[in-house]
């Protein structure tokens, strides 16, 4: 019983990381139908921001908390810059955008290698995140690392913040309008170009926050983005674009699935099985779990 | 353009390429350089398939490495078994493994005919399976690209995980013989080069026939307006499936011939990054043009070898920049430059004529 619970909780914490990464993607992909392969490098930028801040602020807890907004701004600015330089020129060619942003991601990785060196670096976790919490005591205890709980909390907070921004603020209303019908939004007086850039800023900023979270569970390196980005894209594909709830549900489901399959087989076989499950799922719902209803043929 | 000229041009181009590959290159290049060229030509074979699937069919396959790898591993498994000799295990299995006999899925590869067929048919079967599921349900565009990329990631991770039977990260290395011929012998290396060059020309001819057939027209139509093709009574899923499967078979053949040319196949050559690199070459040269895709693929791997040895960091920046410039500002690739210049000149000439006419 504890094993099952333990695996489920591991899965939930994998899912929380996936969710943090995929949240920004769902905004940029859903908003502009842009597949941003450099999203992984924005995660990396967030992680290196944490690393640099820890060098200047010696207190680990303080630097982590400062890193959250700073990483959001750094990655967000990178994203807005990318949107302004390249992506806005490519709106009608989503597949080309995918490849162009991959070129950008190559260059950003090399930049990180030149600045910070090729080997991975590590940050110190603050004291209040190093321990464990015992969920079930007794002879067969179930413990959960504090850092995992922190990431889960962060993911939930990010979802709540993004959902309420989309639902309650004028900016959110404009973003939803553009996602649902770009032309109609444009003729209603919404500057879609400006909304796009803002959405891209927020989506990329969320990648920065995911980067901060990743420093708690693994090393920081130039290729850390590439390692996680595919899984995050799969979350979007399965969850469907344009709505957050698909992303949230699928991130946790895939996380738990991955964790359970890893437990019963091996890590590498689990990856293959998850992919098979995804292709099978798409037979049932080719547009993803939740999708915006439109009257278009595609 | 007169019809005779139109039909002679590709033949002349083909003959020219054959002379270059079979006469000029072996005479002009050292054995080492010829070996490198053989490697580049394998990449070009993958690019032929990408030109068909992506350039003509609009299917951005970011997972050609999987098919390249399936072909390569099928060939390498046979060659490893042959190297080890009857009754012996391949060297790496003795090193890592606890197995005392070949795993069941290795055994058929001892048969050369099976292995050779598998290098092409296995990738085609995998592509057909994925394509059937994906295209039938109209999963397309970016979704398909991501799925194909996830396939490449999963395949590479799976190979790395099965160290005892696939050689793990190292892959299948140190391949000595090629159907009884010693690969250390430069003469045999040359033969391998000639086989690769012939295979590349054959694939180009095949792809050209496909592109200029009724099917080729249909494929472009599906790329440009899938719904309209559906309303005309065709099933776009089948059209796409054929392009994807043929491209997979080409990548498989390329992988199979890559193994004797280079002597190794490993997960690092087939994962996400090499899979995208296959696409880069075709994109830079011109995805929709066979000549462009092939020359682009050769040019990009050549530049990679030439530059990355001396300036590894600069090469990465250059590669990224090349990609961005080619795709963002020259979507037709370098192959479209000639046409653009010709059109511009024609426009200028027309402008001059108009100006002269107005003056008179």
For residue A221, what is the DSSP state?
-
CA B309 to chain centre: 23
Q: What is the mean pLDDT of residues B309-327?
A: 83
Cβ burial, residue A139 (10 Å; 0-12/13-18/19+): exposed
Question: Could you tell me how many CB contacts below 8 A there are between chain A and chain B?
Answer: 124
Give the mean pLDDT of chain B. 86
Residues of B with Cβ-Cβ distance to A234 under 8 angstroms: 146, 150
> A267 vs B226: CB contact, 8 Å cut-off?
no
Which residues does B236 contact at the CB level (< 8 Å), separation at least 6?
A: B135, B222, B226, B229, B230
pLDDT one-digit tens code per residue, A261-281: 888 888 888 888 888 888 888
Structure tokens at A235: 């979350």
Identify the pLDDT of residue A252: 92
ipTM for the whole complex: 0.84
Q: Which of A33, A90, A237 sits opposite B146 (nearest CB)?
A: A237
> B151 vs A275: CB contact, 8 Å cut-off?
yes
Query: What b/e readout covers B334-343, taking b as 16+ CB neighbours within 10 angstroms?
Result: bbbeeeeeee
- Put simply, the chain B residues between 147 and 186 with a CB less than 8 A from any chain A CB are 147, 149-151, 153-155, 157-162
Structure tokens at A117: 């060196």
Low-confidence ranges of chain A (pLDDT < 70): 1, 137-140, 242, 292-298
Identify the pLDDT of residue A73: 96
> A278 vs B331: CB contact, 8 Å cut-off?
no
Which residues does B29 contact at the CB level (< 8 Å), separation at least 6?
A: B37
Residue in chain A closest to B318 (alpha carbons) equals: A107
Identify the pLDDT of residue A298: 47
Percent of all residues in chain B with a pLDDT value above 70, rounded to a whole number = 94
> A298 vs B150: CB contact, 8 Å cut-off?
no
Identify the pLDDT of residue A70: 95
Identify the pLDDT of residue B1: 42
With tokens 């969920």, the residue in question is A135
CA B266 to chain centre: 17
Tell me the three state secondary structure of residue A132: strand
How many Cα atoms sit within 13 Å of B126 on the Cβ side? 24
> A102 vs B276: CB contact, 8 Å cut-off?
yes
Which of B212, B221, B268 has its CA nearest to residue B7? Answer: B212
> B146 vs A103: CB contact, 8 Å cut-off?
no
Query: Where in chain A are the domains?
Result: 7-118+144-227
- CA–CA distance, A118 with A87 (Å, rounded to integer): 28
Q: Which of A106, A114, A279 sits opposite B319 (nearest CB)?
A: A106
Least confident interval from A19-33, A131-145, B38-52, B186-200 = A131-145
For residue B22, what is the DSSP state?
I
Confidence of residue B97 (pLDDT cuts 50, 70, 90): low
| Entry pTM | 0.87
Q: What is the DSSP string of B202-250?
A: HHHHHHHHHHTSHHHHHHHHHHH-HHHHHHTT--HHHHHHHHHHHHHHH
- CA–CA distance, B237 with B241 (Å, rounded to integer): 6
Identify the pLDDT of residue B355: 58
The Cα of B57 is separated from the nearest Cα of chain A by a number of Å equal to 13
Q: Is B226 on the interface with A (CB under 8 A)?
A: yes
Q: What is the DSSP string of B51-82?
A: IIIIIIT----TTHHHHHHHHHHHHHHHHHHH
Tell me the three state secondary structure of residue A133: strand
Tell me the three state secondary structure of residue B104: coil
Identify the pLDDT of residue B102: 81
pLDDT one-digit tens code per residue, B224-246: 989 899 999 999 999 999 999 99
- CA–CA distance, A72 with A157 (Å, rounded to integer): 14
Q: What is the mean pLDDT of residues B53-68?
A: 92
pLDDT one-digit tens code per residue, A86-129: 888 887 787 888 888 988 998 999 999 999 988 888 888 787 77
Q: Are B273 and B323 in contact (CB under 8 A)?
A: no
> B145 vs A110: CB contact, 8 Å cut-off?
no
Confidence of residue B6 (pLDDT cuts 50, 70, 90): low
Q: Is B318 on the interface with A (CB under 8 A)?
A: no
- CA–CA distance, B59 with B86 (Å, rounded to integer): 43
Residues of B with Cβ-Cβ distance to A35 under 8 angstroms: 142, 145-146
Residue in chain A closest to B228 (alpha carbons) equals: A297
Neighbours of A279 (CB within 10 A): 17
Q: What is the mean pLDDT of residues B76-84?
A: 89
> B141 vs A234: CB contact, 8 Å cut-off?
no
Which of A2, A3, A126 has its CA nearest to residue A57? Answer: A126
> B153 vs A230: CB contact, 8 Å cut-off?
yes
Is a pLDDT exceeding 50 seen at residue B172?
yes
With tokens 């005392």, the residue in question is B100
Q: ∠ CA B117-B272-A108 to the nearest 5 degrees?
A: 160
- CA–CA distance, A247 with A238 (Å, rounded to integer): 8
The Cα of A105 is separated from the nearest Cα of chain B by a number of Å equal to 8
Is a pLDDT exceeding 70 seen at residue B323?
yes
> B133 vs A110: CB contact, 8 Å cut-off?
no
Q: Is A95 on the interface with B (CB under 8 A)?
A: yes
Phi, psi angle pair for A137, to nearest 5°: -85, -165
The Cα of B301 is separated from the nearest Cα of chain A by a number of Å equal to 16
Is a pLDDT exceeding 80 seen at residue B351?
no
- CA–CA distance, A235 with A248 (Å, rounded to integer): 9
- Put simply, the chain B residues between 107 and 136 with a CB less than 8 A from any chain A CB are 130, 133-134, 136
Which of B127, B222, B285, B327 is the best residue to mutate to test the A interface, defined by the most A CB atoms within 10 Å of its own CB?
Answer: B327
């Amino acid at each position: 019983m504890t094993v099952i619970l333990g695996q489920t909780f591991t899965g939930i914490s994998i899912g929380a990381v996936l969710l943090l990464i995929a949240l920004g993607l769902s905004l940029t992909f859903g908003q502009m139908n842009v597949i941003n392969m450099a999203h992984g490098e924005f995660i990396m930028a967030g992680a290196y921001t944490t690393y640099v801040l820890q060098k200047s602020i010696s207190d680990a807890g303080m630097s982590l908390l400062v890193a959250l907004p700073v990483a959001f701004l750094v990655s967000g600015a990178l994203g807005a810059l990318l949107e302004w330089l390249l992506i806005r020129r490519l709106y009608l060619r989503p597949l080309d955008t995918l490849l162009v942003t991959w070129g950008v991601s190559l260059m950003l990785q090399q930049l990180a290698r030149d600045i910070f060196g090729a080997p991975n670096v590590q940050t110190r976790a603050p004291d209040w995140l190093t321990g464990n919490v015992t969920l079930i005591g007794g002879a067969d205890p179930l413990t959960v690392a504090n850092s995992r709980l922190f990431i889960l909390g962060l993911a939930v907070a990010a979802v709540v913040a993004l959902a309420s921004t989309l639902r309650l603020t004028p900016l959110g209303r404009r973003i939803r309008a553009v996602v649902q019908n770009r032309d109609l939004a444009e003729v209603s007086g919404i500057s879609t170009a400006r909304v796009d850039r803002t959405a891209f800023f927020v989506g990329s900023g969320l990648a920065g926050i995911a980067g901060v979270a990743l420093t708690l569970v693994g090393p920081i390196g130039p290729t850390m983005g590439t390692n996680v980005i595919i899984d995050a894209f799969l979350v979007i594909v399965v969850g469907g674009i344009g709505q957050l709830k698909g992303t949230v549900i699928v991130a946790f489901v895939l996380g738990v699935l991955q964790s359970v399959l890893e437990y019963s087989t091996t890590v590498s076989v689990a990856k293959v099985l998850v992919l098979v499950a995804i292709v099978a799922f798409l037979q049932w719902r080719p547009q993803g779990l939740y999708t915006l209803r439109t009257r278009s043929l595609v | 353009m007169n019809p005779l000229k139109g039909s002679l041009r590709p033949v002349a181009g083909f003959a020219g390429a054959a002379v270059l590959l079979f006469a000029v290159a072996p005479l002009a290049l050292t054995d080492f350089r010829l070996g490198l060229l053989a490697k580049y030509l394998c990449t070009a074979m993958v690019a032929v398939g990408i030109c068909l699937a992506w350039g003509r069919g609009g299917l951005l396959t970011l997972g050609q490495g999987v098919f390249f790898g399936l072909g390569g591993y099928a060939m390498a498994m046979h060659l490893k078994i042959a190297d080890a000799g009857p009754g012996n295990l391949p060297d790496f299995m003795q090193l890592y493994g606890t197995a005392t006999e070949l795993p069941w899925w290795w055994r058929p590869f001892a048969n050369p005919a099976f292995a050779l067929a598998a290098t092409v048919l296995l990738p085609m079967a995998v592509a057909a399976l994925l394509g059937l599921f994906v295209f039938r349900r109209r999963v397309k565009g970016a979704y398909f690209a991501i799925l194909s990329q996830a396939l490449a990631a999963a395949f590479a991770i799976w190979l790395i995980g099965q160290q005892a039977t696939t050689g793990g990260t190292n892959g299948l290395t140190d391949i000595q013989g090629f159907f009884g011929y010693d690969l250390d012998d430069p003469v045999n290396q040359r033969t391998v080069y000639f086989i690769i060059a012939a295979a590349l020309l054959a694939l180009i001819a095949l792809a050209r026939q496909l592109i200029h057939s009724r099917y080729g027209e249909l494929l472009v139509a599906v790329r440009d307006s899938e719904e309209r093709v559906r309303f005309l009574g065709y099933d776009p899923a089948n059209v796409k499936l054929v392009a994807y499967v043929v491209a997979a078979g080409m990548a498989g053949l390329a992988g199979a011939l890559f193994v004797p040319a280079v002597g190794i196949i490993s997960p690092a050559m087939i994962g996400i990054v090499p899979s995208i690199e296959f696409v880069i070459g075709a994109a830079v040269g011109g995805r929709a043009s066979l000549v462009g895709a092939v020359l682009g693929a050769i040019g990009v791997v050549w530049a990679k070898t030439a530059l990355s040895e001396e300036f590894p960091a600069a090469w990465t920046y250059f590669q990224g920049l090349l990609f961005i410039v080619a795709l963002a500002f020259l979507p037709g690739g370098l192959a479209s430059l000639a046409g653009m210049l010709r059109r511009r000149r024609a426009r200028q000439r027309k402008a001059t004529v108009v100006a002269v006419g107005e003056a008179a």
